[in-house]
Amino acid sequence: MKKYQCDNCEQTKCESEFSDVTDVSMRFSPGDKYTDKECPECGSLAYPVETIVTVEELQDSANKLIDEIELLVSDHLKDDGLKFEDCSLVGIMQSTSELSSRITGIENSDMKGQPDTWLEAIFKHYKETQDGSFPPLFVAAISKSSWHEWQNGSEYSDLETEIKLEDCDHYASCNIHLVFDWQEESISFDFGNNLSDGFNEGEKIHFDYNDPDEMKSSITEAIDESWDDIKSNNSGYEKLSVDDVKSMALEIARILIRKPV
């Protein structure tokens, strides 16, 4: 959807939220930049905001600017003749032609946007490193949570949280893993345990993580649905409430949908 920005109060909204421009004959003189919209609040003219999505659009808009600068500078030089202070204008001409050749060399891969969430950042990091490590800033981001990095590898990497079970005569805990399957590009929870014998796998659940807004409710629903299987698959979980387990899973989900620093 095309966006417009008010020239006066600078609010930017979708085209449909701006009013059609009024008093056209009074507001525009020949040579003025024309627009068909005005601000619904202050009544000033509003102009379309250029959104740059592809390399071609970037190159087009930058080349247009460069052409304008070159035109301005060369008109100025023609009008006044070359004077000492015009050395800087000649410099500008040189810079714009340098800029123009650099813009021509931009590739689509140079336009990769910044990831919106830690989850995107983690998969992007994998594509770049292929070693299954988590981005160091993400590891730092989870350090204040109950989750930590458990293992990483080129096929799978796991984050882990642990709920220690108190009334046992030996060390026992319920261990929840969030497993990143790099080949399948998927993530899932594994509700395992550790009965003094290391991590034992448990019930695995998948959930929808493609839409950050839906991720938490998808996890909640998946755990509710699988709660009986989680308990029967690995002992220890019957000592916990489903809400305890959900809150641990949601803790990591909240971090994953956060914007990376």
Residues lying near Zn ion in the complex (CB under 5 A): 6, 8-9, 39, 42, 44
81 DSSP β-pair partners: none
Of 37 and 125, the one with the shorter C-beta distance to Zn ion is 37
- Lookup result for tokens 């998946």: 222
Least distance to Zn ion, CB of residue 129, Å: 47
Least distance to Zn ion, CB of residue 9, Å: 3
d(CA 145, CA 252): 8
DSSP code for 21: P
Least distance to Zn ion, CB of residue 41, Å: 5
Q: What is the dihedral of CA 106, 107, 110, 116, to 10 degrees?
A: 130
Of 42 and 71, the one with the shorter C-beta distance to Zn ion is 42
Of 39 and 142, the one with the shorter C-beta distance to Zn ion is 39
Of 6 and 252, the one with the shorter C-beta distance to Zn ion is 6
Least distance to Zn ion, CB of residue 214, Å: 35
DSSP letters spanning 75-137: HHHHHH---GGGHHHHHHHHHHHHHHHHHHT--GGGGPPPPSSHHHHHHHHHHHH-S-PPPHH
- Lookup result for tokens 């060399």: 105
Least distance to Zn ion, CB of residue 2, Å: 17
Least distance to Zn ion, CB of residue 27, Å: 14
d(CA 249, CA 224): 12
Q: Which strand ranges, in their side-by-side order, compose the sheet holding 37-38?
A: 12-14, 3-6, 45-49, 37-38, 19-20
Of 47 and 156, the one with the shorter C-beta distance to Zn ion is 47
d(CA 4, CA 14): 6
Of 39 and 249, the one with the shorter C-beta distance to Zn ion is 39
